[in-house]
Structure 1
Amino acid sequence: MNKEELTKFIKSKAFEYSFLDCGISKSGFLEEEAPNLELWLNKGYQGKMHYLEKNFDKRLNPSLLVEGAKSVISFLYNYYPEHKQNSDSYKIAKYAYGKDYHTVIKEKLGQLVLEIQKHIGEFTYRVFTDSAPVMERTWAKKSGLGWIGKNSLLLSKQKGSFFFLAEIICDLELEYDYPLKTDHCGSCTRCIDACPTQAIVKNGVIDANKCISYLTIELKDQIPEEFKGKMQDWIFGCDVCQDVCPWNRFSKQHSEPQFEPPPELLHFTRKDWQDLQQEAFSNLFKGSAVKRTKFTGFKRNIDFNKDE
């Protein structure tokens, strides 16, 4: 296979494995992103996510993650659900309704790699999905899959933003895509206006210390009292900035059975959540990303909302 044929093969296989889209960019040092990342960290916007302060060079240079890296293949995987939670209840982010996406997507990428190896033999690669120091949104943008919105998420005109990002970084030389020339957010500020905690400090920049997703997942301490009355019933993650985004009117329901929620999750009342015990939590969220908070953290989030 020449690089044109191989590129077409990879993209066709991506769709066979139910990825929403696939784009490819040339691996290299992210020179433009380096000062922005440094400034963001220096301002303390990472909160207590100290892991973001590590591996600074690796975040900016894929060759430090995969020796001889030539290409970053970026993928989108839909998680927008057909059915949503009871509207008068505590809420978890839609991406966490079903099985942990790390497991689901890495398995699919592993199968895709095997398909490539059948045709060209062994090559050097690593697969990623929100699991290593990779600037996923930047690489997806560079490969033409969308633009970075004011809420800092990757947005697509055709697909919205309710999707996971994933990558194969490899030493294959492929045909490369190009970034979009236009930022299609325009003058819209719906995400900024709707954020309950004013976590979007400027276009594309998030202060994690104020973000409900950070407060309910990453933060291991008690949630600061200043956020009383601002959590809007979110107990794991937050979808507010996505729910109000006009581009998400184009979101279509996913077709991944592993992302289907347990039926009872959709119908839980506030009292059901408040009465939740360790065993029921473990059963309800078996294999789910929600277990990241552990039962104690999840109960902390419920109690903080309950006391509002």
Structure 2
Amino acid sequence: MSKTPIKYAQIIKTEAKKLGFDFCGIAKAEFLEEEAPKLEAWLNKHFHGQMSYMSNHFDKRLDPTKLVEGAKSVISLIYNYYPPKKLSEKPEDFKIAKYAYGQDYHFVIKDKLKTLLLLLQEQIGDFEGRAFVDSAPIMERQWARKSGLGWLGKNSLLLNRQMGSFFFLAELIVDLEVAPDPPIVKDYCGTCTRCIEACPTDAIIQPGVVDGSKCISYFTIELKEQIPTEVKGKFENWIFGCDICQDVCPWNRFSKAHQEPAFHPHPDLEEMNKKDWEEITEETFNKVFKKSAIKRTKLSGLKRNIFFQSQ
């Protein structure tokens, strides 16, 4: 069979599957016209809080050709991180978001993306591309929706009918014309509002619109100063990130345990109780979270989050 955009799509999806990606979708690289006014309105309302990087590179966020010269296709990929078991089952225990149980996903998935790009260049021939894992101004969820991988839930996360939302998104932007997939137009959330009702800080302003500056993940990861007193008592023991809106989502009953060894928690992390967290030392922090996304808060940030809920 001659190499055509349809054949390229088959090759890409086959190789992605071999590397452990659960789903792969393709969209034409073009300006996200529909998203531009939404992004502008969201930024104007300061829903990004102190995440100033969200307001940088406005044009690049909307136009992949500004990230990769001559870009023709955006390849979106899903990688599962749903753990075989939760770290904590006791209501009084401190909780961290499931995506942070194991090694930092940025590095784990970026390596797989680089491998995928090389394999594709070997099979398809000479083309240029760049790999992205939550590391550049890309509207990942919008591209994933555009490429048929799911729809945007009321909590603004991408939802997939086969596996819910406990997964990472990643992209390859390439200057290769690949047959695109049809987007999912239907909203399969229907009248369900469980995520909106469950959010303790009322961060979901309206279906699909989240005030990032009210999100528990924002307070525990992004905010660098003291957490405001008005949200005291609302964190439900989350000290790094938050999974509440995902845990209550009916679509996540389809979540299955990941098969990625790098995402298994450090043995010491599995054993940590509330007292261990409250007494965490620099030595323990460096040992347990050596390759973890939790390093992002530094020990001082983690201690702030713990102290905020212990008082």
Task: Map residues 1-308 of structure 1 onto 2, 5 A cutoff.
Answer: 1-88=3-90, 89-307=93-311
| Backbone CA RMSD of aligned residues | 0.7
- Give the letter aligned to residue 65 of structure 1: L
Q: What is the DSSP-based 3-state SS (H/G/I as helix, E as strand, rest coil) of the residue aligned with 2:269?
A: helix
Q: What is the DSSP-based 3-state SS (H/G/I as helix, E as strand, rest coil) of the residue aligned with 2:295?
A: helix
Identity of aligned residues (%): 60
Say whether the 8 Å CA contact 1:86–1:267 is kept in structure 2: no
Q: Deviations over 1:67-123 (max 9, x none)?
A: 000000000000000021122210000000000000000100111111111122331
What is the TM-score normalised by the length of structure 1? Answer: 0.98
Residue 181 of structure 1, CA deviation: 2.5
**Structure 1 residue runs of 4 or more that deviate by more than 3 Å after TM superposition:** none
Q: Partners in 2 of 1:139 and 1:34 — Cα distance?
A: 13
Q: Deviations over 1:203-238 (max 9, x none)?
A: 111111110000000000100001111010000000
Q: Partners in 1 of 2:185 and 2:52 — Cα distance?
A: 34
When structure 1 is superposed on structure 2, of 290-299 and 86-95 the one drifting more is 86-95
When structure 1 is superposed on structure 2, of 241-250 and 87-96 the one drifting more is 87-96
Q: What is the DSSP-based 3-state SS (H/G/I as helix, E as strand, rest coil) of the residue aligned with 1:19?
A: coil
- Give the letter aligned to residue 24 of structure 2: C
Q: Deviations over 1:160-218 (max 9, x none)?
A: 00000000001000100011121000000000000011100001111111100000000
In structure 1, stretches of 5+ residues that fail to align are none
Q: Partners in 2 of 1:122 and 1:260 — Cα distance?
A: 37
- Give the letter aligned to residue 189 of structure 2: C
Say whether the 8 Å CA contact 1:80–1:252 is kept in structure 2: yes
Q: In the comparison of the two structures, how many residue pairs are matched?
A: 307
Q: Partners in 1 of 2:130 and 2:69 — Cα distance?
A: 10
Q: Deviations over 1:249-296 (max 9, x none)?
A: 000000000000012212311101001011110111011100000010
Say whether the 8 Å CA contact 1:160–1:247 is kept in structure 2: yes
Q: Partners in 1 of 2:182 and 2:249 — Cα distance?
A: 24
- Give the letter aligned to residue 40 of structure 1: W
Q: What is the DSSP-based 3-state SS (H/G/I as helix, E as strand, rest coil) of the residue aligned with 1:127?
A: strand
Say whether the 8 Å CA contact 1:47–1:209 is kept in structure 2: yes
- Give the letter aligned to residue 39 of structure 1: A
What is the TM-score normalised by the length of structure 2? Answer: 0.98
